[in-house]
Amino acid sequence: MTSAFVPPVYPYDRLDRAREAASILPGGVVDLSIGTPTDPPPEVALAALAGLDAGGRPADESGAARGYPPSIGSQELRLAIQHWTKSRLGAGIPLDAVAVCVGTKEFVATTPQWMKLRYPGRDTVLYPAVSYPTYEMGARLAGLRPVAVPLDSTWRMDLSAISSDDASRALMLWVNSPGNPSGALDDLGAAAAWGRSAGVPVFSDECYAEFTWDGPPQTILGHGGGPDGIDGVVAVHSVSKRSNMAGMRVGWYAGDGDLVTYLREVRKHAGFMVPGPVQRAAAAVLADQGHVEVQRDRYWKRLLRCQAILARLGPTPDLPAGGFYLWSPAPAGDEWAWTDWLAAKGGVLVSPGSFYGPGGAGYVRLAMVAGLDRLDLVASRLGV
Ligand SMILES: Cc1ncc(COP(=O)(O)O)c(C=O)c1O
């Protein structure tokens, strides 16, 4: 008999006790637990939302806010994505190979069920063993089998550890680079090659690409098969992190022609749509790189500041190769005790590493979403 699905407690709800302890300190909680941007979105986004053109004049009557927006994304936004993919990631892709989603969390959580409908003989979703929890949850929500791929000592997937049985049952492999929570850069070429030889589509979550510190941003596009290098691979992106637009909910997926065509048709039937003004705002921010440089500078300075604070208290965390998290070993390997201590004494809320899989135990994750003034407050509370 199969048992009824009961949603597990949402990981961040398990931080309520620590949050309460941090909140009572003068100055309140410094919340580094969730990777939600708190810096302002660029002006161009707000102007586009308000229906203004780049010069601040009312844009022509496109009806963007009135009618149903195109589920696959407006031509304007898809062209902006195509152009950004070429100029920033160096990958040329046909316009038909691009479609939008309502932020990538939605895409990560729902795609397994559409893949199951397409390949009913398969039942498995492969994902990195220490990773963003929605990869596993998407499999569970579709009634599928989540199978964690072990990581090596540098937090990259050990693809050789995937059994031939799991590979033959797999609907998809998720890869995430720069990776949340570890900040590691995975080998996207190796992931694409594994997928090709195993006959498994590879979905590459690249939402932190702009915050790559070791070298230029990377994409799986170009590493797949076919003349454009996109056969068998799909890259997943969003402006949530790049442009501080998490509240506007817009992302996209691009790659394998057959998969993108299939997914965009299914998603059209299911009614996934990004509001028209938000699509315009996303197109506007993709044409602007200046604000991304400002944000990169903010995150890097905060990473250095936080690393220095933690180094005075316990093991020094490595700086990440990408992303805006510090993945920090907890003293004595007890991530819950360390989370509680940091909350009670420093008023700072962090995430225990086990939120990202059992292999994350012994670590905590700190998101660089508070300003330097707030990090200074934490340092002074802790006397370091
Ligand atoms: C690895 C990863 N993928 C996807 C997302 C979801 O981002 P969004 O839905 O805002 O595009 C997040 C958010 O934290 C993330 O860390």
207 in ligand 1 pocket by Cβ < 6 Å? yes
pLDDT at 50: 87
How much of the chain, in percent, has pLDDT values that exceed 90?
94
Q: Which candidate, 130, 125, 121, 94, places its Cα nearest to that of 111?
A: 125
Structure tokens at 283: 């197109």
pLDDT tens-digit series, residues 90-131: 999 999 999 999 999 999 999 999 999 999 999 999 999 999
pLDDT at 56 over 90: no
Q: What is the mean pLDDT of residues 355-382?
A: 98
pLDDT score of 2: 74
Q: Residue 61: what pLDDT?
A: 58
Q: Is 240 in the pocket of ligand 1 (CB under 6 A)?
A: yes
Residue 206 has pLDDT above 90, yes or no: yes
**68, pLDDT greater than 80:** yes
Q: Which residue, judged by its Cα, is nearest atom 14 of ligand 1?
A: 35
Ranges assigned E (strand) in 241-384: 251-255, 325-329, 348-349, 351-352, 363-367
Task: Quote the pLDDT of residue 66.
Answer: 79
Backbone angles phi, psi at 159, to 5 degrees: -65, -25
pLDDT at residue 55, rounded to an integer: 72
Residue whose Cα lies nearest atom 2 of ligand 1: it is 132
Pocket lining: 338 vs ligand 1, CB cutoff 6 Å: no
Q: Which residue has the tokens 């002006």?
A: 43
DSSP H/E element including 339? helix 335-341
Distances (CA, A) of 334 to 13, 15, 98, 183, 365: 19, 15, 44, 21, 13
82 Cβ closer than 6 Å to some ligand 1 atom: no
The pLDDT assigned to 45 comes to: 95
Mean pLDDT of the residues in the chain: 96
pLDDT at 1: 60
| Closest ligand 1 atom, residue 179 Cα | 1
Q: For a substitution probing ligand 1, which of 81, 102, 132, 155 has the most ligand atoms within 8 Å of its CB?
A: 132
Lowest mean pLDDT among 42-46, 50-54, 208-212, 297-301: 50-54
pLDDT at 62: 60
CA atoms within 13 A on the CB side of 151: 24
- Rounded distance between C-alpha atoms, residue 95 and residue 296, angstroms: 29
Residue 265 pLDDT > 60: yes
| pLDDT above 90 (res 65) | no
Distance 380 CA to ligand 1 centre (A): 32
What would the mean pLDDT of 226-243 be, rounded to a whole number? Answer: 97
Helix, strand, coil % over all residues of the chain, rounded to 5:
45, 15, 40
- Higher per-residue confidence, 58 vs 225: 225
Tell me what the mean pLDDT of segment 178-187 comes to: 98
Residue 52 has pLDDT above 90, yes or no: no
Beta-sheet strand order (sheet of 325-329): 325-329, 363-367, 351-352
